[in-house]
Amino acid sequence: MPTSIERDLHMATGDGENSYTKNSRVQEIAMFQIKPVLEEATREVYTSVLPRTMVVADLGCSSGPNTLRFVSEVISIIARYCKELGLPHNHPELQFFLNDLPGNDFNNLFELVNQFEKLTAKNRQGEALPPCYISGLPGSFYTRLFPGQSVHLFHSLFCLHWRSQAPEGLKGTRKTCQDKGDIYITKTTSPSIVKLFQQQFEKDFSLFLKLRYEELVFGGQIILTFIGRKYEDVFSGESNHLHGLLGQSLQSLVDEGSFEKEKLDSFYLPIYSPSIGEVVTIVEQSGQFNMNHVKLFETNWDPYDDSESDVVHDSVRSGVNVAKWMRAVMEPLVASHFGETILDRLFKEYAQRVAKHLDKEKTKLAVIVLSMKKVI
């Protein structure tokens, strides 16, 4: 039996106004930021292993422009590198596996792959590009996905803050007054609940590393980019605010009588945004990887606000923009628990709360990038 996360977690499908395809600019910005890390890891893997077929996996690929952007980036890196080496026509073959949970919109993804392959075939006439083969791979990255020692490069963008489930110990517990409306960690969450979120992260992340270690060839590498926390203090996270405002919006719908309080009492998000310290501790404990690179960058909540200033110029617009990308990410999960009828009202309320928050404080999202190599 799939867990409810495996069944219910996926990004908003299709390519309409509210789809993930049309609302994934936050992730696109992160993809742009990690380009140098991706380039370095891809070149290193190729140099140290020299595979005739290089196997590359994108874990949690979803179905949107970012998925093909990643594929295209790896193709270009290898083409450029082979040209520099004086071997412009002696490329490895590239085999890409695009992985996500079974509920992912693979139909839309395959359509995008089809368009991409046609475009690449056209470009190939002008430039020498490596041959590439692209497949979809449904399944949770908290399970084994590949045969032992068969993958050269793993990449995962904006996924590893998702847990395999909401903390196990929270099932069937009732929220106390202190935790009212919480769907993730807020400033007032009980320490016992915080501990459960942390334990779920430790368990999931250790398992993830163990599985990928088994699947990677020697010399293989992993690049992980996910929402993290800037400071060690677990109550301080910028993502706590982002999700806290969603909890408050749900609570206001309870107060209006839109659904029963018990529905909200039994809902926690299956996420955790760790600090760099928490991530490094688990990687070191695993003893399976050498870290090449670990850093944190910040990005505006509003993906269309490219300014570096500390002031939000149009908080109403920004509130709407944040609500759009959060809806594309959260809609299926929220709808499966509370029903579809609340969605429009919920995200309208959320947009207003985000706007009010941004008027007081221009909070940014902290994103961790980690690249590491399998220890021999």
Ligand X SMILES: C[S@@+](CC[C@H](N)C(=O)[O-])C[C@H]1O[C@@H](n2cnc3c(N)ncnc32)[C@H](O)[C@@H]1O
The footprint of ligand X (CB under 6 A) covers 9-11, 24, 27, 59-62, 64, 66, 99-101, 104, 140-142, 157-159, 162, 164, 329
For residues 58 and 179, which CB has a smaller minimum distance to ligand X in the complex? 58
Q: CB of residue 282 vs ligand X: minimum separation in angstroms?
A: 17
One-letter amino acid for residue 244 of the chain: G
Q: How would you classify the pairing of strands 364-374 and 216-227?
A: antiparallel
Residue 275: DSSP 8-state? B
For residues 18 and 251, which CB has a smaller minimum distance to ligand X in the complex? 18
The structure tokens listed for 314 are 């149009």
Which residue, chain included where needed, has tokens 């083969």?
133
For residues 82 and 368, which CB has a smaller minimum distance to ligand X in the complex? 368
The structure tokens listed for 161 are 């803050």
Number of H helices, E strands in the chain: 11, 7
120 CB neighbour count, 10 Å cutoff = 18
User: DSSP E strands: which ranges in 158-301?
Assistant: 216-227, 289-300
For residues 59 and 354, which CB has a smaller minimum distance to ligand X in the complex? 59
d(CA 328, CA 319): 14
Rounded to a whole number of angstroms, the CA Rg of the chain reads: 21
For residues 104 and 239, which CB has a smaller minimum distance to ligand X in the complex? 104
Residue 31: DSSP 8-state? H
Which residue, chain included where needed, has tokens 């909070």?
363
For residues 98 and 254, which CB has a smaller minimum distance to ligand X in the complex? 98
For residues 162 and 289, which CB has a smaller minimum distance to ligand X in the complex? 162
Q: How would you classify the pairing of strands 151-157 and 53-59?
A: parallel
Q: CB of residue 62 vs ligand X: minimum separation in angstroms?
A: 3
For residues 24 and 363, which CB has a smaller minimum distance to ligand X in the complex? 24
For residues 71 and 157, which CB has a smaller minimum distance to ligand X in the complex? 157
> Is the backbone of residue 271 left (phi > 0), alpha (psi -120 to 50) or beta?
beta
Q: Which residue is nearest to ligand X (CB)?
A: 60
Please classify residue 218 by burial: count the beta carbons closer than 10 Å to its beta carbon, then call 0-12 exposed, 13-18 middle and 19+ buried.
Answer: exposed
d(CA 152, CA 44): 10
One-letter amino acid for residue 24 of the chain: S
d(CA 63, CA 112): 8
Q: How would you classify the pairing of strands 93-100 and 289-300?
A: unpaired
